[in-house]
Amino acid sequence: MSTILERRRGKRKGPEIGIAPLVDLVFLLLIFFLLSSTLEKERALPVKRPQASTAAALARPPLAVTVTAAGTVHMEGRRVGLAELEQNLREALASARDRRILVVTDEAARAGLVVRVMDTCRKAGGEVLLAARRPGQER
Predicted confidence (pLDDT) per residue in 38-94, tens digit: 655 545 566 777 777 777 777 777 888 999 999 899 998 889 988 899 999 998 888
Mean of pLDDT over the chain: 80
* Pair (23, 70) in one structural domain: no
Number of domains, the chain: 2
The model's pTM: 0.61
| pLDDT of 6 above 60 | no
Lowest mean pLDDT among 1-10, 12-21, 120-129: 1-10
Q: What one-letter code names the amino acid at 120?
A: T
Rounded to whole angstroms, the maximal C-alpha distance in the chain is 92
Top pLDDT among 37 and 81 is at 81
Where are the extended beta strands (E) located within 68-138?
73-75, 78-80, 100-105, 127-130
Which pLDDT does position 42 carry in this prediction?
46
Domain containing residue 92 = 40-139
pLDDT of residue 32: 86
Burial class of residue 132 in the structure, from the number of CB atoms within 10 Å of its CB (0-12 exposed, 13-18 middle, 19+ buried)? middle
Q: Is the pLDDT of residue 7 over 60?
A: no
Q: Are residues 16 and 80 in the same domain?
A: no
For the chain, what's the residue count? 139
Q: Which CATH number does the domain housing residue 44 bear? A: 3.30.420.270
The reply to whether 71 and 125 lie within a common domain is yes
Higher pLDDT: 19 or 2? It is 19
| Domain shared by 47 and 7, yes or no | no
12 plus 48 within the same structural domain? no
The arithmetic mean of pLDDT across residues 94-108, rounded, is 87
pLDDT score at 122: 92
Shared-domain flag, residues 8 and 61: no
